[in-house]
Structures are given as structure tokens and as C-alpha cells.
Chain A
Amino acid sequence: MECHLRNTEQGKIRLVNKIKKGWEKVGCWLKRHMELRSIQMMIAVSFTVVSVCIMGFLVLTLYGQFSRRIEDQYVENSAQLLNQTAINLEGHLRNMRWISDAMYYSVIKDKDLAVQSMDDEMNLLYEANKDNLVSIACYTNDGNLTAAAPIATVKADVDVTTHQWFQDAVGQLENFHFSTPHVQNLFDDPSYRYYWVISLSRTVELNHNGETSLGVLLVDMNYSSIERILKKANEDASAEYVYLMDQDGEIIYHPKQDQIYAGISSENNLAALAYEDETFQESFEGEKRLVTVKTVSYTGWKLVSVVPMEVYSMGMESTRYLVIILVILALLATVLLNQLVSARIAKPLKKLNASVEEWEAGNLHPDIYVGGSTEVMHLGNTLRSTVEQIQQLMQDIVVEQEEKRKSELDALQSQINPHFLYNTLDSIVWMITGEKYEEAVFMVTQLASLFRVSLSQGKTIIRIEDEIRHAQNYMNIQKIRYKNVFQADFDIEPEILGYCTVKLILQPLLENAIYYGMEYMDGEGEIRVNGYRKGDDIFLEVQDNGPGIPQEEADRLLTEGNRERKRGSGVGLINVHSRIQLRFGPQYGLQIESCPDEGTTVTIHIPAIPYSEENQRQLEEGKRK
């Protein structure tokens, strides 16, 4: 037992776990397939859910109300039909009673049957109402026929006292008695015809020579008259119908009477017998139906209207289809409209988001979207303004940094190696001491010219001509100092002299050439400075035939990390390279080619920009590159 319980518990836990896993899978699947994080989806789904809920509520409420209305309408119609049928039926039965009354009070009571006959009056009455009558007959209390219309042969061996209508009349003297439909069994008809009748019988007083005895007056109504009235109520082809039963629940008329008699159909008449004159809902043979009962006055018969619930649903079918179509159309419109609206709301936000993503991706100049609703537009404007401000700030910082660097480099450039100045001045002193005045004057002149170009009224951009002159001054001084151990040749195309250059870019190269290339050359050293234009560019080369260096080392000279300061101006090639790039752009600068034991060539590459005040100013301000 315990084992069984444990197994059951484990089974339950396994089932719960399975369900949990199942839900998780569904959740994952939905998450994967229904990405609800996008604003458009959120808006669309929310709107759609709300719309569907409201629509569903409205549809159900309205449909429910409509159904109730229809049901009420059916009940009302049934009641009306029933009332009308009851009126017609009562009218017909009243007529029959009137015939009976007329026969009794106007004929039988006035006649002394011992000497008078009532055949004429009876025939007259019959003829006047023969559409609704089969016969009128009067019997004595012991069942003998007194009179009958139409005149016919009485069936032999027929004892009317055994007939129900006779017994009813004799049993309750005061009343009219309506029988249920039956085949008349009174008269012989050689044409083999038979008649379904409803018998109206009553007790009457028969006068024989002043003596009264009881008898029975029988009016046999043609059943077809009643059938006609009820058929009219059942003319509608729908499943709704009306039937008639007597006070004992026996069916008098039913649209499927023959089928009921043959056992093919059945009716819930015995249950309906217990109903009052109202509408009831009942279930019969698995079918729900509304039953309305109306009692026919005097007879106690009951008219019953039956409306199967199926009739409502059939009547409602087209309405139901219409409602479904309208709901689906509304849903379609809602889905599409929600898509449009959500797209309209979300699209500007998405564009704005895309702008931000572009900005995030590193584009410093994103095209910030401005559009959509006022709020989104405001966001866009604010973001755009923020981006612009940030751009401006960054640009300011860059400019500031650049300026700072330029200033640093320019300041560095403007510093003349104190050793150079000291040595030059020392050389001049020795020249004066050695009374070499002309040479001393030349030296001082060169130095003065060198400083003039160095200063250049504080300009950074000068003519190539001035830069060449500065280089020549420098070389003239150095040649004297180094006692002409090297040759310095300048081969400059005259046309380039009028172009712009950053000042003091040749001197550091010449200084390096002297220090690293010429020092141990013993008069065989040679430094060449070439200047030429090639296309839109200008190239200034400083070649020496010094010991040279390996190319790899030469390549490293222009990288910031290998900036070394040994001797020379203390500025270094890297500074020259940086200054050129800062002024003219990264595509310009220095190129070093060197080969051990063959010499080194350093090439300055700058753009060909004619020197003018405007160009000079723009280049100084960094507005032209």
C-alpha cells in the first residue's frame, strides 16, 4: 500500500515537472517568436488585446440581448398564434354548441314526439351547417334513435348506450360533452366511407304525450373542420407546431398524428397536461423546447404550441454568421489599424534609435532624425543639439590640443641648439682673435641671416626660398666650423621657391646629416639638398654619403617611440615629420632611405601651395590642409 502511495506521489511529481517543462518550452517558443520588446509590437499587441476584449464583451452582450429578444419574440408569436387558434377553435365549438342549443331549445323542447316529428327542423339545421357536421341525431335514454339528419340507415347491432359519448351525456346531465376524435359508428354507408368525428353530446328532455323522458342529443362534428383550424396554425414550414389534446391528455389533433398512431413519432402530451396556461421550457427526447399551453374554454381541451430551441438557433444562424463576419472584419481592421498606428508611433522612435545606434557605433557626425510626433521631434532636436554641442566641444578640444601641440613643436623648433650657438660664437671669437675679420664678418652675417629666417616675424609658414636660405646660412656656418670637411650643394628648382613650407624643417635634417654622416669623412663628405616639384607635390631631399644605417632602423626613426635625442639641434626628425603632418595632413611628412656605407636620403614631402598671405594665414590657422 505504502509503495503504491509512493509511486502515485512520484507520478504526480513527474507530471508536474512535465507540465512545468512544457510551459517553459511554450514560454521560450513564444519569447523566440513573439518579440514583444519592440515598441511597435507592444503597442500593436496591447491595442489589439484591449480591442478584442472590448469587442468580445460587446459582441457577447449584444448577441445575448439579441438572442433573448428573439426568444421573447418567438414566445410572443407563439402565444399570439395560440390565442388566435384558440379563438377560432372556441368560435367553432361555440357554433356547435349553438346548433345543439338550437336543436334542443327550438325544436326538441317544443315537440311532442308522440305526434310530431323533428326531422324537418333537424334536416334544416343540418343542411345549414353541413360543412362542419357529419350528422345530428337524437336518441332516447335506452339508445333508440328518435331522429337523425341526414337520413341514413342505422347500422344493425349498434348499441349506442355502450358508446362513450352516450355514457358521458347520461353521466353528467347538465353539460355538453365533447368526445375525442373517433370514427363514427352509427349509420351504414354503402359507399364504404368512414367519418372521423368529434361528438358533442348532451342530455335532453323528450316529450311524449306530456310525459318527459331523458334522451341524448348528438351532434357529430366533422373532424376535418377542427383539423382545418389547426392546420392553419401549422402552416409555417418551420419546426414550430401546435397540437390539441383533451383534458385527459389524449391527442385530438397533431400535425404528426398518423405518425404518432403508427409509433413513428411521439409527443410529450402527458407532461404538457400538467402545465398551466403559460410558457415552459422542457426537454423531450433530448430536444430542448419551449412549450406554451392555452386551455380552450368550456371543453377543457388544451392547445399546445411547441417551439424547439433549434428553431431559434436556425433563425439566429444567419445573424450568428453576420456577427462572426463583422467581428472578423473588425478584428482585421483593428489588427491592420493597430499596425499602422503603432508603426506611425514607433517609426520616428526607431529612426531616432537608429541615429543613436549610429552615433554609438562611432560615427561622430550622425544624422540625427528629427520628425514624428511633437514629443519625438523634441527628443530628436534635443539629441541633435546635444550631439552638435558634443561635436563642437570635441572639435574645440582637438583644436586646442592641436594648437597646444603646434605651439610645443614650434617652441621646440625655435630653440637653437645652445652648443651650435656657443660653438659658432666661439669660432667667431677665434676668427677675430686670429684677425680673420672677413671670415668673422661672413660668419656673423650668416648667423644673423639664420636668426632672421628663424624668427620670420613669428610665422610658421614661410616661402621655400627663405627656408633654403636658412639652410644655406646654417651650412655656411657649419662648413666654417667643420673646416670644410664636407661639401654642401643645393640644387633647387627655381619654380618651387615661391611655395609654402613649414619653417625650419631642413636645418634639423642637415644637422643630422652633419653629425651622423660627415663627422669622420675627412673632406670627402658630401651633402646635397635637392628641391623639385612633382605633380602637385614638392619634394626637398637631403642626401649625404655618410655611413648610413640599415633601412629598418631608418624606418623606426619616424615613430614616436624611437624618438631619441643624442646630438644635433635636439629637435629630431620626428618633430619635423609631425610638424609637416600637422600643417599639411597625414599624407605628407618625411621619408628616409638609408643603406649602410652608402649614405642616407631624407625626403621632405609637402604639397605645392603657392605662398600668399591668404594661404599663409590659412595654413597657420590650420584651416587648409
Chain B
Amino acid sequence: MYNVKIDCSVAKKVIADDMILTKGVATTAGSKMLEGFMSLFTSEALVRLEEKGYGLVGKAKVGEFGFDLLGETAVNGALTADGVLKLAAAEAVLANEADVALTMDINGSVRRAAAQTGLVSVKPTYGTVSRYGTIPVACSGETVSLMAKNVADVKDALAAVAGHDPKDGTSLPDSMYVTDAATPKRIAVLTDMLANVNADVKAKVDSAVAALKADGIEVVEVTNDKIAAAKVAWNILMSAELCNNVSRYDGVKFGYRTPNFTNLDELYMNSRTEGFGELLKTAILFGSETLSTDNYMKVYDKALRIRRVVVEEFKRLFQEFDAVLMPACSTLEYTVDAVNNDKYMAFNENFYTAPASISGLPAVVAGGVQLVGKAFSEDKLFTLAEKLEKEGK
């Protein structure tokens, strides 16, 4: 579960995943490439939590550079229980090791974990929480994200970390934080996202819908194949940005350096060949290809256009609805066997998480389902999440 465990006697405990940089405590990004890497500074989000009285209990294992399905690519082995994959940060919260998990939501693994374990998580509006001090992977959509056992704890932690940070050029000015806390009345269920989920997930969605209806919320089924196209576009953007961001790990400055080289090209190639894992290499090659002169307009530029379309489609839905409900995953457990048989599951299972990632919209997971809202509507999503939470108890 832990990459590093810290003795902590503070009442409010936080576990940070290993994409969050911590001064004095190694941050590995789950990769051989960064084994033992010591950052010179601590992430802004963790600093703010510590200022509000939270204490760090350790660093949770992550899959290599945090963009896999559920931690299966971690260099020191995946965390599993009875042949089922587990995300370390979520397990730490479930085991009462920590009250809150501070994580990076890059490709949805945090939301999948929350949905599968019944925890509550928030991926805030892009630009709300500083990314200063987080290992960059897919900068245009990744966010610092929080996970806890209940809505109140997630809410408190988000309040502690949110707000402008001049050290992050994409951090929004405080004047833009006009939170929408109006009472939600109407939500949409995106049926495109229900076609391929299993019965367990379908049951979660049904019970969530029933709970919301029982509470007087109007629930309307909608279909939108444009939002459903987010996955393909996000895979392109995420891989391209990842390819660029991990280029810095070349054996020259920091991280793993191969002992096997006689010249610069060998130093680069052997360090990266030996230091990176299989899924990461796949993403690097894919990302590199999409950015090539031959493919940029055909592939990357199209993905940017799809991003714009997804944003516009959500905007249209939010004129009518307070939130869009969808699952966060197709199944409530991923077996190790299943992932071994389909190494690229992370690139397909993000069908459910890519829409919020690519659009920068806030997403709250509670009661096993995901609620996506318009920018800065976290409070509204929390209100809905509380209704699901009440139902669960």
C-alpha cells in the first residue's frame, strides 16, 4: 500500500499518492525511472492541507506515472486482493490509515477506485487546485483530486487546497471562483455510457437514480455520441503530453541512469529502455507518432477539436440539467487476469472518465456513480452526492 510510511500523530491524516512531490520524502511516480527521487519542494496542495492541520502519513503506491487502469503497472508490483486490483490510496482510506487521499487524476484511476470501493472523490474544475509540485503527465486535463469516506471530508479537504496559486500559470484567478451552490433540481443520465457496463454497475446507476428521484430530483435519460467520443481524443492528447513530459527522464540529469553506455545515444536509449515499463513505452510511441509532422493535423489537431466539441456539448446539457450522471467504470472489479489479457484496458476503460478529463469539468464520485457538472459547480455536485450517501447508509 505504502511506498513510504511516515509516523504521524496528527488527528486529520492525509495519504498522498506517489505523483505528489514531497520534499524530504521520495516520490517515485511508480516508475523505476524515478526510484528514490527526492524533490526539492513539496506540492502546493499538500502544503495547503498541512497548513489546515492535516498530517502526511505516507506515500501511496501508484501505477507507472499514474495513468494506468488501477495501479497495475507499479514498478514494485500491483496491489491486489484475491486476484483483484486495488488502488493503494483508496485502500489506505478504507483501512482508516488516512482520512483523505491526495491524488492525481490523470486517466481516471482515482474515480474508478472510488466507484468500486464506495468512497467519495472529487476531481475539481481544472485550474481550481494548483498543480505546482505534481509530476506532470497529461497537463491539459489532469487535476489534483481528493478522496475520502464521506462527502463532508472531501469537501473540507477541497476547501483547504482550492484557490489561486501564482506558481501555476493555469491556476485560475480567485475572481473566477463563483461557486454554484443552487439547489439541484434536474439531472441527466447519459445512456451512451450504460451500453457496455455490467449488471453490478447498472445496479449502482439504478439505485442512484432511484435515490435522487426519491429526493425530488427530476432524472432524464439523454444520449450524446459526441461526449462519448471523448475517449479517443483523450487517449491522443494524454499520450502526446505524456510522451513530451517524460522526455526529461533521459538518464542525464535525474532519475535512473543505465550503467550500459559508451556514448550519448546509448545513454538515452538504454536509460529509457531499462527505466520505463511496457504500458508507458506504448503511450510514448503512440504519443510521439500523433505529434509527428505527418500526423499532427490528421490526429492531434482533430483531438483538440473533439475536446472543443465535448466542452460545447456539456455546456448545452448544463443549460437544462444541473449535472450529468454516468458510471466511472464498466465493472466493480478488475481481476489481474483480465488486465493481463488486455494490457490496454486503461485506454478503453477511460471511456467513462475521459469526458470530464478532457473538458476540465468537475466530477464527483459517490454511491458508485459519477456526477459531472459545469465549471465551479462542485457544491451542487456535493449536494447530490450527499443524497446518494444518505441512501447508501
User: Are A and B a genuine interacting pair, yes or no?
Assistant: no
B interface list, Cβ under 8 A from A: none
**A-to-B contact residues, CB < 8 Å:** none
